[in-house]
Structure 1
Amino acid sequence: MQGWTIFAHSVRLVARNWREALKIFLVPSLIAAVIVGIALTSSGFSYSMVTSESTSSAEFASGTTIAAILLGYLAVLIIAFWCVVTWHRFVLLEEYPQSWIPPFRFDRILSYFGHGLLLGLVAIALMIPIAAIIALMASMGLEGLAVVIAIPVYIFVIVVMYRLVPILPAAAIGKPLKLRESFDATKGAAGAILLLLVISFIVNFLAQFVAGLIGSLVPAIGVVALFLASLFLSMVNISVLTTFYGLYIEGRPID
């Protein structure tokens, strides 16, 4: 049941430190929302462009609109890394936020991005041969067998990638961790990872469902509920990575 222990500890981290969590996540999240709003409105993008049947594909995919969306996405990505790095450092190094705007550690953010990119390349390297084999089997009329093989193989890849995830918190706190070191340190964690993923999926689904239900009944409150639910779930998911690192790399107790 270690997967449940990791998740429960992550929730407690956020609950116990909700003031610090708000200082780290709230203002940057609002800044990200404002930046996205400004980027979209300045490009002429509007909600009616998505809902209106009269909107042409050329209008929707104009160069200005695409550029605005990309810039907005880049800003959100940078702000997300900013928050994540700050949270990792708060939990693992006890760097308490001193104001409502957390310190912007460009070197750690850049390192986090680089290690995240490395994980992405590893995932691609693992998936390409697997996808090729499955596609070949499907082309031979073995679709059923391809599906049967694909499911456990994809689960295996997910577990492998999760065992490499500790390199991210390590990058955030300035203690670089090699892929091999992370993989060796998380030996025997497959069961905990699978249970953790199932629990995280269920909790995320239920929270989003409840927020959506509230939104359908009381739209004004629903927007706030959805924002708060998304913010809380994001903090918990990040705390899972932090807890995973603390448990398997630093050997911290989490009971």
Structure 2
Amino acid sequence: MAFRIFIHAFRMVFGNFGAALRISTPMIVMSLLGAFILMPDETSSTGTPAEQFSNFFTGPLLMWLLAYLVATLWVAVAWHRYCLREEYPGAIVPAFHLDRILGYFGWSILIMLVAILVSLVAGTIIGGLAAITQSAALAGLLWFGWFGVLLWFIQRLSLVLPASAINEGKSLRQSWEATRPISGTILAVALMFALFSALVGQAALPLFGVSLVLGGVINGIAQWISTMLGLSILTTIYGICIEGRTIE
């Protein structure tokens, strides 16, 4: 079933490619703008490391980061609404639901804080076991295993996000309980998505040595695919667990 969910999410994006492009317009525009802001110049490559760091985090860059966050939340809400409620985008950009975007952001922060808390506990346990056994191999294996568990944990809590996007009130507890019947499937999907994103993200690295522009373009495409695919996986799991939908 995990593979079916992954393929279904892939088809959601590329089977509705025109709508996906229109809905993700804010994110695409901000990515293109970021390519100019992040372009290295002579002043940013000189001086001490501290000076280079200071030059990098300039006012325009911080403003762009904020704008990119808003664009990503805008796209996420619009894509969930399109897939679950068939709310079609406008000719250029999707509808801007400020209340849903703020709700989505609030739930995202809460999930992140919960994930950080459990990660601190897990890190303490793993660090203690590594200190007792004096085994770097064991520590590496435990951290790799925890990464998979963390993805699974976050995914099981994250049904509150599409629920918020379509204004259906759900709690973290409800999300956790709703995903219980397919918890193993969710772990498999999370690992498949992580592996896919890592492989796609590596595609642009060799191209940066040839051309910064070409590398930036390919990197932007890779990020777009990973983002839209991740949103589609979450939407698919919501449809299965909350709305009782089936997939082919």
TM-score range, shorter chain: 0.7 to 0.9
Does residue 77 of the first structure (1) align with residue 76 of the second (2)? no
Aligned counterpart, 1:133: 125
Equivalent pairs counted in the alignment come to 247
The answer to whether the aligner puts 1:98 opposite 2:97 as a matched pair is no
Which sections of structure 1, spanning at least 5 residues, go unmatched?
Answer: none
Q: Could you tell me which residue of structure 2 aligns to residue 158 of structure 1?
A: 151
Deviates more, 1:182-191 or 1:244-253: 182-191
**Within 2, Cα distance between the matches of 1:221 and 1:154?**
32
Query: Aligned residue for 1:246?
Result: 239
- Match among 172, 189, 193 for residue 165 of structure 2: 172
5+ residue gaps in structure 2?
Answer: none
| 45, 48, 55: which one aligns with 2:47 | 55
Q: What's the offset of the Cα at 1:135? A: 2.4
Shift of 1:55: 2.7
The 5-angstrom pairing of residues 9-48 of structure 1 reads 9-34=8-33, 36=34, 40=37, 46-48=40-42
Q: CA deviation at 1:11?
A: 0.9
CA distance in 1: counterparts of 2:35 and 2:139, whole angstroms: 44
State the Cα distance separating 1:199 from its structure 2 match: 2.4
Secondary structure at the counterpart of residue 181 of structure 2: coil
Assess if the C-alpha contact under 8 Å between 1:28 and 1:101 holds in 2.
Answer: no
Q: Distance in 1 between matches of 2:213 and 2:125?
A: 49
CA distance in 2 between counterparts of 1:65 and 1:159 reads: 33
Please say which of residues 205-214 and 101-110 is displaced more in the overlay: 205-214
Distance between the aligned counterparts of 1:11 and 1:154, measured in 2? 23
Between the aligned partners of 2:3 and 2:58, the Cα distance in structure 1 is 41
The 3 A distance-change label for structure 1 pair 150 and 236 is closer
Aligned-pair identity in percent equals 32
Change (3 A) 1:235 1:147: closer
Shift of 1:169: 0.6
One-letter amino acid of the structure 2 residue matched with residue 85 of structure 1: V
| C-alpha distance in structure 2 between counterparts of 1:63 and 1:217, whole Å | 25
Q: Answer yes or no: is the 8 Å Cα contact 1:211–1:226 preserved in 2.
A: yes
Deviation at 1:29, TM superposition (A): 1.8
Matched, 1:185 2:185: no
TM-score, length-scaled by structure 2: 0.85
Q: Which residue of 1 aligns with 2:194?
A: 201
Of 67, 88, 94 in structure 1, the residue corresponding to residue 80 of structure 2 is 88
